[in-house]
Copies of this chain bind each other. A is one copy, B any other.
Amino acid sequence: MHARIIDGKAIAEGMRADLAKEIESLGEAGVTPGLAVVLVGEDPASQVYVRMKGKACDKIGIYSETIKLPKETSETELMEVIDRLNADPKIHGMLVQLPLPKQINERNVLLRIIPEKDVDGFHPVNVGKVATGDTTAFRPATPYGIQQMLIRSGVEISGAHAVIVGRSNIVGKPMASLLMQKADGANATVTVCHSRTKDLPGVTRQGDILIAAIGVAEFVKADMIKPGAVVIDVGTNRVDDASAEKGYRLVGDVDFDRAKEVASAITPVPGGVGPMTITMLLYNTVQAARQWSQA
């Protein structure tokens, strides 16, 4: 067997083309969606992500601001920036890039962003709405993107057993919430497993859909996958590779080369979940602008 490769880049491009049209029609109505991205400190990976988000906005016609704050920024200073953005009519969505330096309490920060501008979907109000199936919520970008990728790849989610490896607040838990709802593109039987799970391969092998979000390079081996399963790889891990130009290469949480011999469909790294994540952030920003213009 040789798995179909789910091309996240192609799906994302199609969605962005549709989104560009919606942004154009919003523009005709006098509304330009605006996104503010706040970066505290100089974490290299965060800098890359923030730059990618800004570029994606520019390309599609979303107004964007990147606010860079020094790594010594106090919680109070960050709160003042958030308050200003909460009140700024040009800004419909904002996010604070995680992780934050140690002197800043992440929970306090996420609570300060008004839920109506919380396009990352990390405010408890949005988390709670997602958990209870309230579709007015902003859904967190990575699991929302995975759900869209499954739907748009024609994967049957209803009645399928979705096994999620990893229970982070950003991916694993909201992924479970989205897939277990009584709703289109959901209705899955959902299992969440993690570091404390006993007989992990026995559990993962039950997944008709297997979602790996652990952050450990090539953790999921072929013998952990049910033959014919759809495998979604959320990981992006650097592994040393002297033969690569940069001295490393990116690999997922799944042993791709062997997994693709067992799975019926699989997402590559890079080019799978990654492009979907930023696309859903753009979606949420446009949703925020639309809701704001209607309110």
Contact = CB atoms under 8 A, between A and B. Distances in A.
A108 to B, nearest CB: 11
A266 interface: no
- Report the contact-size class of chain A (Cβ under 8 Å from the partner): 35 or more
B189 A190 contact: no
A198 interface: yes
Contacts of A134: 107, 124
A167 B180 contact: yes
Copies of this chain, how many? 2
A169 B132 contact: yes
Nearest to A126: B128
Contacts of A148: none
A40 interface: no
A131 B173 contact: yes
Contacts of A188: 196
Given A133-B169, A167-B182, 13 more contacts: A107-B134, A124-B124, A124-B125, A124-B126, A124-B129, A125-B128, A127-B127, A127-B129, A128-B129, A128-B131, A173-B180, A187-B194, A191-B191
For the complex of A and B, 10 pairs with smallest distance between CB atoms? A124-B128, A127-B128, A128-B128, A191-B191, A187-B196, A189-B197, A132-B169, A124-B125, A189-B193, A124-B129
Interface of A: 107, 123-129, 131-134, 158-161, 167, 169, 173-174, 176-177, 180-182, 187-194, 196-198, 203
